Amino acid sequence: NVHGRRYSGLLHMQVAATRAALTQLDTRFGQLPLSIGESGWPSAGHPEATLQHAGEFVRNAIAAAQDNDLPLDPHLRTLYLFEAFDEQLKSSNGHGGSSRETENHFGIMKEDGTLKYDNIKF
């Protein structure tokens, strides 16, 4: 609870903050459809980037986007998880805006197409 409002997690708070900022700009923006363009967590390349943490993030993001009891936003249309597959050469080629090892490990699946996490339901 924050100021009497319930949130399912940080993603929910970020969506609510975005909606509040839009509404401050113009009350008509209170019903503007929203899409989350990229949301993800790497599974390797940093001490906090683990399969467990990334799997929890993906499961929680999917659950939050599908929750009817405590929706992220009544006008949320899409949530795009970043990204479908790991790309082992991404950081060495400078893709993704950095040469950090984490850039190689944002996939929900390994490069061979196998899911990296258990209990993922789309």
The pLDDT averaged over each successive group of 10 residues in the chain (122 residues) is: 81 94 96 94 95 95 89 93 91 70 94 92 74
Sequence-separated contacts (24+) of 3-6 with Cβ below 8 Å: 6/70
In angstroms, the CA 31 to CA 33 distance is 6
**What confidence score (pLDDT) does residue 57 get?**
94
Q: Residue 95 has what pLDDT?
A: 67
pLDDT of residue 91: 81
In 3D space, the residue among 52, 63, 65, 41 whose CA is nearest the CA of residue 118 turns out to be: 52
Say what the pLDDT of residue 94 is. 66
SS3 36: strand
Instruction: Give me the pLDDT at residue 69, please.
Output: 85
pTM, full prediction: 0.84
How far is the C-alpha of 86 from the C-alpha of 40, rounded, in Å?
Answer: 12
